[in-house]
């Protein structure tokens, strides 16, 4: 995967987040729309946490140490009381995108092609492909936020 490809897919995912998160208040972000489902706040924190691993792969500084966000790993441990403010996480998402953009722009094709151990699948995968997989993961969650807008009383943000 090339840096140009990664910039394109992260740009699309970031745009999707930006338009989908618009007008969602902190209170709205805490609403769960189905039993056992995630809320916008958890999805945003989970995505922000994942972006920190992308920054690590790019040799960039973290916006927030992902280990300080254990409530955003899986479904357990998240409560309305330990939820981070949605506006702060939105600002951190913007900052992380700026750092990701700079990191990808500085990455050489050789570094993107370097094989690394995949912590999830027990195999090796190139750094570029791993970054791309993180972006796919994020894009899935950005679509979830988009789907949650209407039940929260907002218009759909992306009209096709």
How big is the chain by its Cα radius of gyration, in Å? 16
pLDDT tier for residue 127 given thresholds of 50, 70 and 90: very high
pLDDT at 76: 78
Tell me what the pLDDT averaged over the chain comes to: 93
Q: How much is the average pLDDT of 91-97?
A: 97
Each domain of the chain, given as residue ranges in start order, spans 3-149
pLDDT tens digit sequence for 51-70: 999 999 999 998 988 788 89
Q: Which residue has the higher pLDDT, 102 or 73?
A: 102
| Model pLDDT, residue 31 | 95
The count of other CB atoms within 10 Å of the CB of residue 141 is 21
Fold of 3-149: 1.20.120
Across residues 11-33, what is the average pLDDT?
Answer: 96
Which among 32, 26, 145, 42 has a CA at the least distance from the CA of 88? 26
CB 120 within 8 A of CB 105: no
For CA atoms 52, 61, 128, 157, the dihedral sign is: positive
pLDDT at 26: 98
Whether pLDDT at 42 is above 80: yes
Residues in the chain: 160
Residue 128 has pLDDT above 80, yes or no: yes
Do residues 99 and 7 touch, judged by C-beta distance below 8 A? no
The pTM is what? Answer: 0.92
Mean pLDDT computed over 39-48:
96
């Amino acid at each position: 995967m090339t840096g140009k490809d990664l910039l394109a897919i992260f740009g699309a995912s970031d745009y999707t987040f930006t338009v989908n998160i618009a007008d969602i208040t902190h209170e709205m972000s805490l609403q769960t729309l189905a039993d056992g489902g995630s809320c916008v706040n958890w999805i945003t924190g989970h995505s922000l946490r994942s972006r920190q691993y992308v920054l690590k792969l790019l040799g960039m500084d973290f916006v927030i140490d992902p280990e300080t966000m254990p409530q955003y790993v899986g479904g357990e441990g998240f409560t309305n009381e330990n939820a981070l403010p949605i506006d702060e996480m939105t600002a951190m998402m913007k900052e992380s995108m700026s750092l990701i953009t700079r990191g990808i722009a500085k990455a050489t094709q050789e570094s993107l092609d370097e094989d690394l151990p995949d912590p999830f699948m027990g195999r090796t995968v190139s750094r570029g492909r791993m970054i791309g997989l993180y972006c796919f993961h994020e894009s899935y969650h950005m679509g979830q936020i988009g789907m949650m807008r209407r039940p929260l009383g907002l218009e759909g943000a992306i009209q096709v």
